[in-house]
A and B are shown apart, each in its own frame.
Chain A
Amino acid sequence: MTKLDYNTAELVAIMSARFLEDGKIVFGGAGMPLISCILAQKLHAPTLTILFEGGVIGPDIQIGKLPPSTNEQRAARRANMLLSITDILLLQQRGYVDYGFLGGAQIDQYGNLNSSFIGDPDNPKVRLPGTGGANDIASLASKILVAMHHEKKRFVEKVDFITTPGYLQGGTSRKDAGLLAGGIYKVITHLGIFGFEKESKRMCLETLHPGATIEEVEERTGFEMIIPDKIEYTKAPTEKELTILRELDPDKRYTTPKAE
């Protein structure tokens, strides 16, 4: 078999899709997360239901007309139900939402995400657009997937601002703060799959993607990543996964790696 050719964004989209189980409900964001959700539906999870923050439950997205935002009519096409934004976000508080799917400008060793300020929040270098529903999703959905490009400036020791709670300061601090449910489940990057240590809640490597190295992970991480004694590898993307992914995003609008 010849080695398949794929870019880092395609790799992250495929690896993320594998975590979405059939029969579950996922809060899908615009762009790559949505592609991953549809990919999971086409591969192994035909009854996976997608929710959108704009108020959409179970839409039927037209291939080639992927919505650039989750709050517009394209995202609502042939949905099972439309709800107000407040009510759809409240479904998570009731416990109906299995997965949240997030990104962010920065992530730290406890899985906290920042999408508000780069630099000092009182005198920021960059004011970012803000949380949207990310804070609610990470506080309330059962399992949070974070998909990110693995870069040192994004994987930082401490985020400049916790917009979206991961395990806060580690240990039991998340529960102590009043966040009784959920937590960051997996961080998926172009180098590997990362989880969180049971007690300390520090980020740890679970599997390396084919071709990636420990050195590369360490070089691109701004904190001490916990590396297991025995390194396991992720199963490489299959031809089937890549073929369907490319049908979903033929122009690679959402699966082109961003310049570093």
Chain B
Amino acid sequence: MTVSPVAERSTSSRSRAVCILPVIPAVALLLAPWLAFVNTATLWLGVPALFIWTSIWVLLIPVTLLTVERRWSRFRPDATDGSPDLLGDAS
């Protein structure tokens, strides 16, 4: 089955659009001082709300980047480095 150029472009656009995903945690983190429910003396789970907010969004950054990797980067010509060995030659 062949894929039409229009469909291919559409898939490519959707794949590229996923690159915007990591912007969400970035915005959430930078807005922290101005979100009244975050910048508050109230404790969440026994610790300051700001701690939980920053930690959660930092932990979500890998999730967004993994999504980008799966949806966009794997189609790139440099998707692999040529060897599955994680350690490389550092000795």
Does A associate with B in a complex?
no
